[in-house]
Amino acid sequence: MSKNYLPEKPIIAVTGSSGKTTVKAMISAILREKWIIFESRDYYNTTVNTPQHKEAIRPIHRAVVLEYGMGFAGQIAEHCSILQPAIAVITNVGSAHIGNFDGKVESLAAAKSEVIKGMHPEGYLFINKDDQNSKLLHTKDFKGKITTVGISFPADYQAKNISFTKDGIEFDVISHRINDRFYIPVIGKHNIYNALFAIAVADLLGFSPIEMKNGLKYIKKPEHRLHLYRLKDDIIVIDDTVHAHPPAMKAALDVLLEVGKKKKIAVLGSMGELGVLMEEAHREIGAYAASKNVDAIYTFGNYSSHTHEGAIAAGYPKEKAMHFYNLQRKKLHEELLKIIEPGTTVLVKGASKQKLFEVVQFLVDNFSK
């Protein structure tokens, strides 16, 4: 008998700086192929929500899949004290909320590690082998089983032979039990990691590759997460208007390059909760956008002025970059109408509180077939 703990009704907790909602959705989509499960609603991941989830779990539920969100130290520990997971996924350790940790990634990693200390001590932990900051997680004293996923570095579940299709991604998954080709109906290389986590958890729970494939076909996609609007004249709008922090910004820009075939425009909002790193992080995103050779960089919001400055400092042509403050939304719309032509792809990326979905809606209204 294995020393690792796997109860009849496992509680699966997903935490990390980005990808939580998507990993939760992917795991749930697979498990529903055989089981009735309890899945928390998208973004209902605070310590206020977890007691509500505990009340909502019923005997009929064969598994529980939850997001454990965190803005400050102690919050993940509180989640675990209410519902202790036997299985935990830490998607990555990025810079979301790093301003609440004095800009120190080590402190952020320590807070993420609360799930390791709060889960069942002989449970199952899944981490990202390619994420350098995940090396800072406090895994040393964990007595359970650690399973890794990766693309670039050898991992327990590794993706190879990746190919991007019009509306999704195909890739091989290689592990000790699986050697098969998978398809996910979402875009963005980062979603391969999300799928690997779901596949690894499902494999642990005894699901077959065909059940995994069938489940992943029907992912309940989170709203405003890299949603493609295919409009008239081959114009594409990429709606990614829920969260904004540096790794997610870079991932969205990578998707713009993957999807866009002709003119490519990046509309980038401000990022929050970066504390002392606020200016530096925005300038870094500007430099990253400049390196992608997009046709225009439009920044929106007060802090994103540093993104604009970073792009220019990195050598991006001034005439192709424009900054718009919060009260200049109408002017942003007007400039977009001027520059968009047949075959243009527009990325709109920002946090929900900036209401950048209004920009998406404006473009959809103007360019609908």
User: Quick one: pLDDT at residue 1?
Assistant: 36
236, 192: one domain: no
Q: Single out the residue in 217, 237, 266 at which a domain terminates.
A: 217
How far, in Å, CA of 76 to CA of 14, rounded? Answer: 11
Instruction: Name the helix (H) or strand (E) containing 157.
Output: strand 157-164
> Domain containing 105 — which CATH number?
3.40.1190.10
Q: What residues have CB less than 8 Å from 317, skipping those under 6 apart? A: none
Same domain, 171 and 272: no
Q: How many residues does the chain have?
A: 369
For residue 258, give its domain range. 227-367
pLDDT of residue 18: 87
The residue-averaged pLDDT of 136-144 equals: 96
Residue 6 lies in a domain: no
**4 belongs to a structural domain:** no
CATH number of the domain encompassing residue 319: 3.90.190.20
Regarding whether 324 and 183 lie in a shared domain, the answer is no
Distance, CA of 39 to CA of 12 (rounded, Å): 10
Give the pLDDT confidence of 16-48 residue by residue, as tens digits. 988 899 999 999 999 999 999 999 998 789 999
- Structure tokens, 264: 């490519």
Residue 96 shares a structural domain with residue 194: yes
Encode pLDDT of 48-63 as tens digits. Answer: 999 999 999 999 999 9
b/e per residue 1-39 (b: at least 16 CB within 10 A): eeeebbeeebbbbbbbbbbbbbbbbbbbbbbbbbeebbb
Token readout for 323 is 């900054």
Count of domains for the chain: 2
User: Given pLDDT bands bounded at 50, 70 and 90, which one contains residue 157?
Assistant: very high
Which residues, 6+ apart, have CB-to-CB distance to 126 below 8 Å? 87, 88, 89, 90, 146, 147, 148, 149, 197, 200, 201
Measured over all CA atoms, what is the biggest interatomic distance in the chain, rounded to whole angstroms? Answer: 67
Based on the fold, state whether residues 85 and 124 are members of the same structural domain.
yes
Query: Is the pLDDT reported for residue 131 higher than 50?
Result: yes
Which of 217, 247, 276 is a domain's end point? Answer: 217
Q: Is 51 within the bounds of a domain? A: yes
Residues 31, 139 within the same domain: yes
